[in-house]
């Protein structure tokens, strides 16, 4: 680990990967509500990842107009429009392997064995990050309708020179 909540990737894991500086918007559990404050936060992102429970296809259209978008289907994405959304996605961003899933309890891979650097999830509506076995786990929380007393939040993943760090923002109602 390299201070300020960053995860340093070993040189072996970076070998052969292009290193770039990226700002990746992380959003989840919109449940059909696209807050203007979330859109303002996401402007300027290089990519956007949506961790599921999208709510309606217009959310995806709006996000895709801001930056390249990857989204996974959440347990509440049951309409016909959501049937083509994958349950998981693995992509390369800034030289790191990023795995996207809605419910972390459904994770069916060994992230270390699969050489995943970052896992982004949703479902719990609780923003947070953890590091286990060299993998950074990030849940941006929910920026949809408020659930219980949980904060309305969104996050960004900054990837620079083999470092991935998560930064969270609470949004106003």
Query: Is pLDDT above 50 for 2?
Result: no
Residue 152 is given by DSSP the state B
The full set of domain ranges for the chain reads 6-170
Q: Where are the alpha helices (DSSP H) in the chain?
A: 11-14, 36-42, 57-64
Does the domain made of 6-170 have the CATH classification 3.60.21.10? yes
Per-position b or e across 10-47, b if 16+ CB within 10 A of its CB: eeebbeeeeeeebbbbbbbbbbebbbeebbebbeebeb
30-69 pLDDT tens trace: 999 999 999 999 999 999 999 999 999 999 999 999 999 9
Report the distance separating Cα 110 and Cα 155, nearest Å. 24
Q: Answer yes or no: is pLDDT of 8 > 70.
A: no
């Amino acid at each position: 680990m390299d201070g300020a909540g960053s995860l340093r990737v070993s040189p072996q894991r970076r070998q052969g990967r292009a290193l770039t500086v990226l700002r990746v918007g992380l959003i989840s559990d919109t449940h059909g509500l696209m807050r203007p404050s979330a859109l303002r936060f996401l402007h300027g992102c290089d990519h956007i990842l949506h961790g599921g429970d999208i709510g309606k296809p217009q959310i995806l259209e709006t996000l895709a107009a801001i930056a390249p978008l990857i989204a996974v289907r959440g347990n509440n994405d049951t309409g016909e429009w959501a049937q083509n959304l994958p349950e998981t996605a693995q992509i390369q961003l800034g030289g790191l392997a990023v795995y996207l899933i809605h419910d972390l309890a459904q994770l069916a891979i060994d992230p270390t064995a699969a050489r995943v650097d970052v896992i982004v999830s949703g479902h719990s509506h609780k923003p947070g990050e953890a590091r286990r076995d060299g993998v950074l786990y990030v849940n941006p929380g929910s920026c949809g309708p408020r659930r219980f007393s949980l904060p309305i939040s969104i996050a960004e993943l900054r990837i620079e020179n083999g470092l991935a760090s998560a930064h969270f923002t609470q949004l106003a109602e």
